[in-house]
Structure 1
């Protein structure tokens, strides 16, 4: 389909099903597809696996899905300042797979590029490679599930760990600009994980601030071949993840 535009975010996420794996763009609160997440929350799908750098903050974005108990598993780099994320993980309500930040980005990019796995030095000599990272706790605080050891191999005298690519059922991204063919342009730091997330989804949905008739090919960050649905949402404000003020 050449024209990939949808009229509403509700329509764009309507077929996301219970148990789906969803890659979500953004870093903290920058460049997150907040409107798509709001529509997903209203839609009602649960038992979700969320692949994202983190889950933002309490009461916003992915934090809302956490509060509703709609996420059963996450794959990400860190928990950060999201108190509900930490509470669910430590109380045994949530399975959490930690992966180094750069590895997470490459796992999503590799999945979109058709690469099933790759070797990296990140995590060699740690529990990332050797296994034993707590992924799920029991309600009494004991560890219920830990990560498994990963394959390692030596290249030119240096040890590497094998990491698998990620191919998510759906991907949600935020872009500054798009055309009707799904070509995307990201703005400044909102570019972060969004291009890799867009590649990793079997069905990629983009909320965009500006829908235009034409984009110079040299400006395109993510080609439309990776994008299935586009929804114009207008300008979006970025919240403040941690506010610090002086006396």
Structure 2
């Protein structure tokens, strides 16, 4: 029976998979739904030169913003950074490159990455140099589109309300946001969870992210998960 719990690890074991220069995709919207224990672990390990992919740059002291504000990211792919003035300053000073993507397109690029689709076509932002940048264009049925490449990461980090030992996840209301898409788009996905419940406790139709997408489960700070061996 013990082998069914191999996905449950502590934060120290999770941090062994993180290193300088890697790409990390994160769930969350303004910090809500971004895994706090994993973020703190990243800061404690002190890794740097990261490429971060997610909805936004959080706030200076909330969510992924804690990583950005300490200058640990060399690049960010996001829909906006306006909630974190430090991110804006880093971009202005040339210390962090930012690739902006409209929020819906960003979500679709992440979804495409998780589904194994190399790119999507979109006409959103065709007249905006910030959106178009140096992106490829193509003609389909006589209409011009931007080629929006799919997004993946070496590690995806997500935050969930509940998990069973297989990694089936349930999210808490709006904290669900981009987490289900992000969970699918990582070469490895680590889920921080608030509660770990026994196998069979979750109703199949309430599971949002199937455990097949989750490699490891990290109990959030203060979570007691020793029941699994009792």
TM-score, normalised to structure 2's length?
A: 0.88
Which position in structure 2 is the counterpart of 1:219?
Answer: 206
2:80 to 74, 78, 81: 78
2: CA distance, partners of 1:109 / 1:53: 13
Q: Determine whether 1:150 maps to 2:161.
A: no
2: CA distance, partners of 1:173 / 1:124: 32
Contact kept? 2:54, 2:77, Cα under 8 Å: yes
User: In structure 2, the residue corresponding to 1:221 is in which secondary structure?
Assistant: coil
2: CA distance, partners of 1:160 / 1:149: 10
Deviation at 1:121, TM superposition (A): 2.8
Contact kept? 1:153, 1:161, Cα under 8 Å: no
Q: Determine whether 1:21 maps to 2:50.
A: no
Which position in structure 1 is the counterpart of 2:228?
Answer: none
Structure 1 alignment gaps of length 5 or more: 132-147, 237-247
Contact kept? 2:135, 2:148, Cα under 8 Å: no
User: C-alpha offsets along residues 48-96 of structure 1, whole Å, 9 cap, x if unaligned?
Assistant: 0000111111122222212322111000000122111011000111110
Deviation at 1:173, TM superposition (A): 0.4
TM-score, normalised to structure 1's length?
A: 0.83
User: What pairs up with 1:92-241 in 2 under 5 angstroms?
Assistant: 92-127=94-129, 130-131=132-133, 148-155=134-141, 158-213=143-198, 214=200, 215-233=202-220
Structure 1 residues 62, 20: CA separation in 2 closer, same or farther (over 3 Å shift)?
same
User: In structure 2, the residue corresponding to 1:93 is in which secondary structure?
Assistant: coil
Structure 1 residues 235, 152: CA separation in 2 closer, same or farther (over 3 Å shift)?
farther
Contact kept? 2:102, 2:131, Cα under 8 Å: no
Number of residue pairs the alignment of both structures matches: 219
User: In structure 1, the residue corresponding to 2:107 is in which secondary structure?
Assistant: helix
Structure 2 alignment gaps of length 5 or more: 224-230
User: In structure 2, the residue corresponding to 1:49 is in which secondary structure?
Assistant: strand
